[in-house]
Chains A and B, each alone.
Chain A
Amino acid sequence: MSERKRVMIPIRVEPGSDLPDAERRVVLEAVQNNRALEGSLLPILHAIQDRIGWIPPRLLPLIAHELNLSRAEVHGVVSFYHYFRQHQPGQHVIFLCRAEACQAVGAVQLEAHAKRALGVDFHGTSGDGRYTLEPVYCLGNCATGPSLMIDRELHGRMTPERFDELIGGRGGGAGAGAGA
């Protein structure tokens, strides 16, 4: 056989090898702990978000590789569900209820106030990085609204004044009242 010029086969970088160690470990642990479950992708994504607060897009190749899925499939799932975050949130996430029962007791006005006080629209993070404001469609607190949840803590009968106290009480007004 005549000698041919050798063709270099590019070696594919192992998925996830470019990730910071801590993130890589979070993904591998989440996969390890949930792999045996039927339909394990959602539990794995929850486990990751619980640990690092969001699901950075750079993790998707590793998740896909570990589960023998395509990146598109994983991206499709992450982007379908409102709860999975593709952007880094602030220190606290405020879930403000927009649904009918809260509308009936002033949620629309509260929403306008919250956006003004934090200086953000929904999905935005306040300038000081403290608060991310997210809409939520029902927290099940429908007889004592308007409701919001902050860091798993549920609050009812919320008013603009109590909202300011709540975000002020967590250290830092985040520009509360600005532009009011």
Chain B
Amino acid sequence: MSVTVYIPREATALSQGAQAVALAVGAEAARRQQAVQIVRTGSRGLFWLEPLVEVGTGAGRIGYGPVQAADVPGLFAAGFLTGGQHPLSLGPVESIPYLKNQERLTCGRLGVIDPVSLEDYRAHGGYEGLRNALPMEPAAIVKEVTDSGLRGRGGAAFPTGIKWKTVHDAPGPQKYIVCNADEGDSGTFSDRLLMEGDPFCLIEGMTIAGLAVGATRGYIYLRCEYPHAHDTMTQAIATAYAQGYLGADVLGSGRAFELQLRLGAGAYICGEETSLLESLEGRRGQIRFKPPLPALKGLFGCPTVVNNVISFASVPIILQRGAKFYRDYGMGRSRGSLPIQLAGNIARGGLVERAFGVSLRELLYDYGGGTRSGRPIRAVQVGGPLGAYWPESKFDTPLDYEAFAAGGGMLGHGGIVVFDDTVDMAAQARYAMEFCAIESCGKCTPCRIGSTRGVEVIDRLVAGDRAAMQQALLRDLCDTMLNGSLCALGGLTPFPVLSALDYFAEDFSKPAALQAAKR
């Protein structure tokens, strides 16, 4: 009887050697004349264990990792095809505490199914949400999403149902659904994991959105830095068309939904929704003034829903299990679950999907296991390059949009980047300004000019050149950027800069900087 071996085809696993492992398993099985079926999956997001190889046995899926190609003959010798013991044994994968103690509402199929198999997707609850949505009135679908409490997972946390209602109510012969898959924030990869591990979930969520607001066309704007996600999504979209889940007549309902995948071209600013729309229209990714809101005048001037990958991917389960099921998770006004990403200098990096309310400390130490370097954690940056740097004293903050905002931070897309005590926070502050200068679209002055001036002021401050004056100048500049920029790039760059200055002031004075250089 053939044994099924699951090996990821996901980018992080590949970067750790998964392709060589898959080839080695195939070759060794052939050499031993053992019937093995290799299924290439997404990743469960337990990255310190990648490449994580799973074997289907009578006792469930048994894991081994991190496996290198050279380990494969030994695994066969240890009888891993029947779950045999080996130094790399992890036991039943679902029982690994990191995974077991999660609430995977949106990411439940990651690493489990063959991402490009529609049969696999359906066998794991896929397209049940769409089947429920098809007979519903559009307004009823919108209400279900509103009642679930889902808020935009891209960073701005705007209530998804309210956005959809605006588009639903807007008149117009043509409306659009646009998925923002331009996941440019450092320390975030949940969009990528979902697209590589469960692409039909995104397609289903966007299709439901189309039904809800009366949009017949959709676009996924994917960043070009994600070639593996591009391959998986392309395959999945083609399959969905071939099987009648996309096209002029979705599942025989008489309603159309056409979906196209588009590639960005390496501009961080195109993750800003109006800039993304400009780019989709074939222009420079310069942001637009708001109003008008994209919900009223978006792509090609038509009413448009713009949501992040995880927002759309959370919709199928809401329609499958009901608004109440989803709303019962979470705290305060942050309902449901958030796929959190542990990144940077962290021992057990990866994806942790939990209901809102889990504390930063629990994530960093219980899940993450502290730093990869073994040194103490000195700072974390939550919410991407525009998020604040926080010291240990803030680690008890619960993951909740309001709690983070109250603490002067931003939960954003749920990425947490960890730094140990060798970090030079003045250098991080300088980088934040430099990044803004490189990626500014150039439309507004505070962002375009302010970022470059910011780098210069920080350089003078660190050099000890009239430090008090430079600090006052830097704060004044940050105030201008914060209040005067057109979008979040210029408007939020002051957060990492000022938080570094407020919480890690010692790094900005010359002696500390010299010490850091000596380290």
Chain A interfacial positions (CB closer than 8 Å to B): 37-43, 45-46, 73, 76-77, 80-84, 95, 99-105, 108, 136-145, 147, 149, 152, 154-157
Contacts and interface: CB of A to CB of B under 8 A. Distances in A.
A144 B284 contact: no
Contacts, number: 160
Interface string B12-26: 101110000000000
A101 B344 contact: yes
Nearest to A137: B268
A51 B14 CA distance: 25
Given A100-B417, A142-B415, A77 B15 contact: no
25 contacts: A39-B280, A39-B300, A42-B262, A42-B264, A42-B280, A80-B286, A81-B264, A81-B266, A83-B265, A101-B343, A104-B417, A137-B438, A138-B185, A138-B186, A138-B225, A139-B11, A139-B225, A140-B188, A140-B225, A141-B11, A142-B341, A142-B343, A142-B415, A144-B16, A147-B15
A141 B187 CA distance: 8
Contacts of B224: 46, 83
A141 B344 contact: no
Nearest to A44: B282
B186 A82 contact: no
Given A42-B263, A143-B343, A152-B227, A100 B11 contact: no
Given A140-B183, A140-B192, 6 more contacts: A42-B279, A83-B266, A104-B345, A140-B189, A142-B344, A144-B48
A104 B420 contact: yes
A104 B12 contact: no
Grouping DSSP codes into helix (H, G, I), strand (E, B) and loop, the A interface class, with mixed when no group exceeds half, is: loop
Contacts of B280: 38-39, 42
A84 B282 CA distance: 14
Contact of A95 (B225, B418, B420): B225
A165 to B, nearest CB: 14
B115 interface: no
User: For the side of the interface on B, what is the size category?
Assistant: 35 or more
Contacts of B265: 42, 45-46, 81-84
B47 interface: yes
A39 B265 CA distance: 14
B417 A101 contact: yes
A60 B266 CA distance: 20
A154 B14 contact: yes
Contact of A76 (B14, B284, B349, B428): B284
B349 A136 contact: no
A145 B48 CA distance: 11
A136 B15 contact: no
